[in-house]
Amino acid sequence: MFDGQLSKNMTDYQVIKKNNYFAVEFQAMASPCEVLLYSDNKKLVRKLAKIVVDETKRIEAKYSRYQKDNLCWELNHSNGEPIAIDLETYKLLEYAKQLYQLSDFQFDITSGVLRKIWQFKPGAKPPTQNSIKQILPSIGFDKIQYNQQTFTMPQGMEVDFGGIGKEYCVDSAASLISPLCEKEKISFLVNFGGDLIAVNNNSSHPSWTVGLENVGSQDKSQTVIEVSQGAIATSGSTKRVFEYQGKQYTHILNPITGYPVEDAPRSVSVFAQTCSLAGGMSTLAQLKGSEAESFLKDCQVKYICCW
């Protein structure tokens, strides 16, 4: 997700040789990002690195709510007037709509306005019931009207692509380098802040070793797994949290009530074919609270849950 200010140094990346593969490292979307490639051709790796970095820069600049005068800003300042959109944005909205419906209206990209009354940092206090009551009418994906050409949203509402943006970027970057990597039989992994996808184009290449932080454990240990094909995404509730009068409040908010989801796992990692699907499922599980694991089992997906 787009959790921070637009990255200033996104075009600054480094290519590092590590044993029998190259690592491309850079910062974007408030996260450490890397692309690992089994190749000994540094020139080719640099070409692939530029493709990934350029695509990441494009998507973050287009959809980050921290950027002024981009598409997201235009949508949020449309004052009820229709705004022209492209096919990419339409497809993102359609995916957000699917998540909205699958979650019984709890995954809602218009719920970002709740950040105006909730501050998840040490010393914070929960907002008053009255302030929550006043802001809830500004939430509701079903109030948006859009098609493949235009988008219309009532005045006072906002959209925030943060809940789907990073995973979408992982998939998009991977899809752009996949044809060349397949041609050259290069296996690779794209990892943006722990949300990742691996593509195996050569059976002789070993799997990638990935560490998933066990945020629910006392020693902050990691679960180490091997992955060569497929995606993993993690949704957690431990980094943005505060305690008030003996009760802990996490940043996973229910847009219907305006309050944090209670009894949610500290983290959920989901395994899927695409990073977008893995990210969507992990977030939906968080919104289910204590029923997270039952939900994931019903969906028949592989997962790791930490409570």
Q: Return the pLDDT at 183.
A: 98
Cβ atoms of 61 and 68 closer than 8 Å: no
Q: What is the mean pLDDT of residues 73-99?
A: 98
Cβ atoms of 10 and 27 closer than 8 Å: yes
Q: Where residue 276 sits, what CATH number does that domain have?
A: 3.10.520.10
Residue that terminates a domain, selected from 201, 226, 257: 201
The structure tokens listed for 11 are: 């075009």
Q: By residue range, what is the domain housing residue 269?
A: 71-160+235-306
Q: Do 185 and 263 reside in the same domain of the chain?
A: no
Q: Do 148 and 192 reside in the same domain of the chain?
A: no
Q: Do 176 and 149 reside in the same domain of the chain?
A: no
Query: Could you count the other beta carbons within 10 Å of the beta carbon of residue 208?
Result: 20
Cβ neighbours for 152, distance < 8 A, ≥ 6 positions apart: 78, 80, 81, 82, 83, 144, 145, 146
CA distance 190 to 20: 17
Position 121 confidence tier, pLDDT thresholds 50, 70, 90:
confident
Q: Return the pLDDT at 285.
A: 96
Strand partners, 21: 18
Nearest Cα neighbor of 190 from 19, 84, 32, 302 is: 32
The burial of 225, by beta-carbon neighbours within 10 Å (0-12 exposed, 13-18 middle, 19 or more buried), is given as: middle
Nearest Cα neighbor of 43 from 184, 170, 173 is: 184
Q: Do 268 and 155 reside in the same domain of the chain?
A: yes
CA distance 266 to 274: 23
Q: What is the mean pLDDT of residues 260-271?
A: 93
**Angstrom distances, CA of residue 27 to CA of 35, 146, 251:** 12, 33, 23
In a domain, 214, yes or no: no
In a domain, 146, yes or no: yes
Q: Do 46 and 94 reside in the same domain of the chain?
A: no
Q: What is the mean pLDDT of the chain?
A: 92
CA distance 55 to 58: 5
Q: What is the pLDDT of residues 144-189, one digit of tens each?
A: 999 999 999 999 999 999 999 999 999 999 999 999 999 999 999 9
Q: Return the pLDDT at 8.
A: 47
In a domain, 218, yes or no: no
Q: Do 80 and 96 reside in the same domain of the chain?
A: yes
Q: Do 155 and 75 reside in the same domain of the chain?
A: yes
What is the domain count for the chain?
2
Q: Do 243 and 294 reside in the same domain of the chain?
A: yes
Per-residue b/e over 244-270, b at no fewer than 16 CB within 10 Å? eeeeebbbbbbbeebbbbeebbbbbbb
Cβ atoms of 231 and 244 closer than 8 Å: no
Q: Do 156 and 289 reside in the same domain of the chain?
A: yes
CA triple 257-262-267, angle to 5 deg = 120
Cβ atoms of 149 and 82 closer than 8 Å: no
Query: Could you count the other beta carbons within 10 Å of the beta carbon of residue 154?
Result: 15
Nearest Cα neighbor of 261 from 233, 231, 234, 241 is: 241
The answer, yes or no, to whether residue 3 has pLDDT greater than 80, is: no
Q: Return the pLDDT at 111.
A: 97
Q: Do 177 and 77 reside in the same domain of the chain?
A: no
Q: Do 128 and 77 reside in the same domain of the chain?
A: yes
Residue that terminates a domain, selected from 141, 176, 201: 201
In a domain, 190, yes or no: yes
Q: Do 128 and 271 reside in the same domain of the chain?
A: yes
pTM for the whole structure:
0.92
